[in-house]
Every structure is written in C-alpha cells, then in structure tokens.
Chain A
C-alpha cells in the first residue's frame, strides 16, 4: 500500500481526490479556495489598518489557514515517508522546448536552475518575486485561483468563470 502511494498518482485518482476534498469542505460548511489565505495573511500582517479590503475578522478564515498549514505538512510527508526518487516522466516535447529556452530538465519536481538554493541569484529572486506578485494580484483581481475559480467555480455552474480559465492558458504559449 505504501509503495503504491509513493508512486506518482494517475490523473484520474488525483482528480477524484481533489473533488473529494472540495466536497468534504462543503460538508464542513466551507468553500474550497486557497488564495483567500493570502488576503487573510495580509490582514494578519496589519494591512487592515490602512486598506479597507483587508479589514476583516481573520478568525472567520482560521479554518482555511489550518488547511494551509496542513498542506505544508502534506508536502513534508511526501518528501519523507512517501518520498519517490524516480525521475518525473515529462513529455519529450516539453524537455526539448525547455532546452531551447535554456532550461535543462533534471527529473525533479522543480528545476534546480530556478529553485535551487545554490542557484539563488539576483535574477532568480527577481523572477520568483515578480511571478509571485502576478499570481497574488491576478488571483485576487479575478476573485480566486485554481481551487476557488476553476474547481469550486465551475463545479457550482458559475459559467462566467470560464473566462479566466480561457485567459489562464494562452499567455505562456509564446
């Protein structure tokens, strides 16, 4: 069983598990949406004093922060108990494309070139900071990220939420 869990899971198993998490949260009276935590964290850092958007009672979001804390632990479990050392099976076309833009596929989850401690350069810090800024700004602007918008949003038949999904995809194709 443990050996089975250690391997990468097929897409359908992962999709079923994500839907199950969403339904479980609904059963607990909550709505699945991860990026709301970023807003709550701004509130906790004192942003509510200056900007009304962050003036909320963080305790109503405590459940989501606990969910976030759990997700960090989940990552840790996968790096230890459930660790899998087999290289990631990336499609050959992507490996080739990445090579053309100067990224060498190293078989890990994330490229050491961008995320490795040893590769930490001014350029990488700038890239990571800018990327994060875009994700934070964009998800709040659109009113949710992948979990809230795509999974919960589409599941609840919020059809106008198809828009961001269409917008998410083409931007990186260039």
Chain B
C-alpha cells in the first residue's frame, strides 16, 4: 500500500510526542511559565536540524522519492494574521495543553475526553473559514 509509509511516519510521530512528553498538559504549563528548558530544547533542536536539512536540500538540489525537486512553499505575507492567530492559538494551547498533533496522540493514549477538544478545534477551524474574508490578515 502506497500510503502505508505515511501511517508509519505518523506512528513514529505519535511515539515521539508521548515519549518526549510534548503531549503533556503539565509540560506545556511548565513551558509557558519558562520553568524548564525541556520543551524549548525539543522545538529548538527540531528547528535547528530542520533548517540545516533545508539548507542542504536547497544547496545540493536534492530530489524527492519520485525524482521531483523538493520545493518549499513560502507562506503568504502579512503579519497581522500571525500575531492575532498566534495569540489565539497560544491561549487555546495553554488552556488545553494540546496543539493539533498531541490532541490526536492523546486520544490514542486513552484520553478520550480529548475528543471534546478535537470537536472544539473543528468548530474553530470552521468558524475561521466562515469569517475569513472579514478578518484582518
């Protein structure tokens, strides 16, 4: 099956999220209060290595598995949406301790009440789609 590699990548992602404790509400509280380096270490390492990999991919024009050049879609400009969206996101992250990935990983772990958070997130996404044209970007 062609899609199995994505399932496998997802499984590894889920395991990393639990074992790094990035799915923990407590760890997110600790992060937002700057009381431990842990979460900053995780995100910092991922960004630094990711940036190095992207540099190498661009520098050596590395192709993907199908032989097509790997391209990076630049996010469209505008700063308002990043600030306002980021603030709203941060509030929700602090409240639930879960960003979109960990929500689903937590359900798999057995925190079934996280389904309520997912329902909220779907409503929020829908609401954004509905109001999109009226919001400052």
Contacts and interface: CB of A to CB of B under 8 A. Distances in A.
A and B associate? yes
B124 A136 contact: yes
Interface in A36-71: 37-39, 41-42, 45, 47, 51, 53-54, 62-64, 66-71
A160 B80 CA distance: 11
B86 A165 contact: yes
A147 B101 contact: yes
A146 B20 contact: no
B29 A71 contact: no
Contacts of A171: 32, 87, 90-91, 94
Contacts of A19: 45-46, 48-50, 53
B57 to A, nearest CB: 7
B100 A27 contact: no
Given A16-B45, A68-B104, A142-B86, A173 B33 contact: yes
Contact of B82 (A8, A77, A161): A161
Pick the most buried of B46, B48, B123: most chain A CB atoms within 10 A of its CB. B46
A74 B6 contact: no
B15 A74 contact: yes
B125 A21 contact: no
Pick the most buried of B22, B38, B92: most chain A CB atoms within 10 A of its CB. B92
Interface of B: 3-27, 29-30, 32-39, 41-51, 53-54, 57, 64-66, 68, 70, 72-77, 79, 81-101, 103-114, 116-130, 132, 135
B125 to A, nearest CB: 4
A94 B29 contact: yes
A45 B65 CA distance: 32
Nearest to A106: B26
A116 B25 CA distance: 13
Contacts of A15: 41-46, 48-49
Prevailing SS type, chain A contact patch: helix
Nearest to B6: A66
Contacts of A110: 23-26, 97, 106, 111
A136 B123 contact: yes
Contact of A136 (B39, B44, B121): B121
B129 A78 contact: no
B12 A21 contact: yes
B50 A172 contact: no
A71 B94 CA distance: 22
A120 B75 contact: no
Given A28-B6, A71-B105, A151-B43, A138 B86 contact: yes
Contacts of A137: 85, 88-89, 92, 124-125, 127-128
B79 to A, nearest CB: 6
A22 B18 CA distance: 17
B29 to A, nearest CB: 6
12 contacts: A8-B21, A16-B46, A19-B53, A22-B46, A42-B122, A109-B111, A129-B123, A140-B85, A155-B46, A167-B90, A171-B91, A172-B90
